[in-house]
A and B are shown apart, each in its own frame.
Chain A
Amino acid sequence: MDAVILQERLAERLVSPRTRSAKLKQEKQYVGFATLPNQVHRKSVKKGFDFTLMVAGESGLGKSTLVNSLFLTDLYKERKMLNAEERINQTVEIIKHTVDIEEKGVKLKLTIVDTPGFGDAVNNTECWKPITDYIDQQFEQYFRDESGLNRKNIQDNRVHCCLYFIPPFGHGLRPVDVEFMKALHEKVNVVPLISKADCLTPGEMKKLKDRVKEEIEKLGIKVYQFPDCDSDEDEEFKQQDKELKESTPFAVIGSNTVVDVKGQRVRGRLYPWGIVEVENQSHCDFVKLRNMLIRTHMHDLKDVTCDVHYENYRAQCIQHMTSKLTQDNRIESPLPILPLPTPNVETEKLIKMKDEELKRMQEMLQKMQQQMHDQEQ
Chain B
Amino acid sequence: MASTDVTRQLDTNVRPLSMSGHVGFDSLPDQLVSRSTGQGFCFNILCIGETGIGKSTLMDTLFNTNFENSESTHFEPKVKLRAQTYQLQESNVQLKLTVVNTVGFGDQMNKEDSYQHVVNYIDAQFESYLQEELKIKRSLHNYHDTRIHACLYFIAPTGHSLKSLDLVTMKKLDSKVNIIPVIAKADTISKSELHKFKIKIMSELVSNGVQIYQFPIDDENVAKINTTMNSHLPFAVVGSTEEVKIGNKMVKARQYPWGVVQVENESHCDFVKLREMLICVNMEDLREQTHTRHYELYRRCKLEEMGFTDTDAENKPVSLQETYETKRQEFLFELQKREEEMRQMFVQRVKEKETELKDAERELQGKFEHLKRLHQEERMKLDEKKTMLEDEISGFSKRKIAAELLQAQAFTGSMNIKKDKDRKNSGFM
User: Interface on A for B, CB 8 Å cutoff?
Assistant: 58-61, 81, 83-85, 87-88, 90, 120-125, 167-176, 179, 196, 198-199, 201-202, 269-277, 280, 282-283
CB pair A167–B167 under 8 Å, yes or no, is no
Bound Cα distance from A175 to B75, whole angstroms: 6
CB pair A275–B162 under 8 Å, yes or no, is no
Given the contacts A171-B52, A171-B74, A276 and B185 also touching, CB distance less than 8 Å: no
CB pair B188–A87 under 8 Å, yes or no, is no
Contacts of A85 in B (CB 8 A): 164, 167, 204, 207-208
CB pair B73–A59 under 8 Å, yes or no, is no
Q: Does B98 contact A (CB under 8 A)?
A: no
Q: Does B304 contact A (CB under 8 A)?
A: no
Contacts of A179 in B (CB 8 A): 109
Given the contacts A81-B161, A271-B259, A283-B257, A123 and B50 also touching, CB distance less than 8 Å: no
CB pair A171–B109 under 8 Å, yes or no, is no
CB pair A175–B163 under 8 Å, yes or no, is no
Closest 4 CB pairs of A and B: A60-B158, A274-B259, A170-B52, A199-B188
Residue with the greatest number of chain B CB neighbours at <10 A, chosen from A168, A179, A272: A272
Interface size on B, residues (CB 8 A): 49
CB pair A270–B161 under 8 Å, yes or no, is no
CB pair B160–A59 under 8 Å, yes or no, is yes
Segment of B13-21, B86-94, B222-230, B260-268 in the binding face: B260-268
Bound Cα distance from A275 to B257, whole angstroms: 10
Contacts of A202 in B (CB 8 A): 256-257
Using CB atoms, name the residue of chain A closest to B255.
A201
Bound Cα distance from A167 to B204, whole angstroms: 23
Contacts of B321 in A (CB 8 A): none
Bound Cα distance from A58 to B260, whole angstroms: 28
Contact pattern, B 384-409, Cβ under 8 Å of A = 1, otherwise 0: 00000000000000000000000000
B16 to chain A minimum Cβ distance, whole angstroms, is 53
Given the contacts A59-B158, A84-B161, A202-B257, A122 and B73 also touching, CB distance less than 8 Å: no
Q: Tell me the dominant secondary structure on chain B's binding face.
A: loop
Contacts of B110 in A (CB 8 A): 122-125
Bound Cα distance from A280 to B54, whole angstroms: 27
Q: Does B71 contact A (CB under 8 A)?
A: yes
Contacts of A170 in B (CB 8 A): 50-53, 74
Bound Cα distance from A60 to B188, whole angstroms: 12
13 A-B residue contacts at CB 8 Å? A58-B158, A59-B158, A60-B159, A83-B161, A84-B164, A88-B167, A90-B164, A169-B157, A170-B53, A175-B75, A196-B157, A271-B261, A273-B261
Given the contacts A83-B161, A124-B109, A60 and B156 also touching, CB distance less than 8 Å: yes
Contacts of B311 in A (CB 8 A): none
Contacts of A196 in B (CB 8 A): 157, 188
CB pair A169–B185 under 8 Å, yes or no, is yes
Q: Tell me the dominant secondary structure on chain A's binding face.
A: loop
Contacts of A125 in B (CB 8 A): 109-110
Residue with the greatest number of chain B CB neighbours at <10 A, chosen from A58, A90, A121, A202: A121
A161 to chain B minimum Cβ distance, whole angstroms, is 24
Contacts of A121 in B (CB 8 A): 164
B51 to chain A minimum Cβ distance, whole angstroms, is 6
Contact pattern, B 171-199, Cβ under 8 Å of A = 1, otherwise 0: 00000000000001101101100000000
List B residues 32-87 near A (Cβ within 8 Å).
50-54, 71-75
CB pair B107–A174 under 8 Å, yes or no, is yes
CB pair B257–A282 under 8 Å, yes or no, is yes
List B residues 215-262 near A (Cβ within 8 Å).
254-262
Bound Cα distance from A189 to B185, whole angstroms: 31
Bound Cα distance from A123 to B115, whole angstroms: 13
Contacts of B50 in A (CB 8 A): 169-170
Bound Cα distance from A196 to B158, whole angstroms: 9
Using CB atoms, name the residue of chain A closest to B54.
A169
Bound Cα distance from A90 to B53, whole angstroms: 24
Bound Cα distance from A283 to B184, whole angstroms: 21
Contacts of A171 in B (CB 8 A): 51-52, 71-74
Using CB atoms, name the residue of chain B closest to A270.
B190
Using CB atoms, name the residue of chain A closest to B201.
A84
Using CB atoms, name the residue of chain B closest to A202.
B257
CB pair B109–A61 under 8 Å, yes or no, is no
B187 to chain A minimum Cβ distance, whole angstroms, is 6
Q: Does B112 contact A (CB under 8 A)?
A: yes
B151 to chain A minimum Cβ distance, whole angstroms, is 18
Contacts of B168 in A (CB 8 A): 88, 122
B208 to chain A minimum Cβ distance, whole angstroms, is 6
Bound Cα distance from A301 to B111, whole angstroms: 36
Contacts of B191 in A (CB 8 A): 270-272
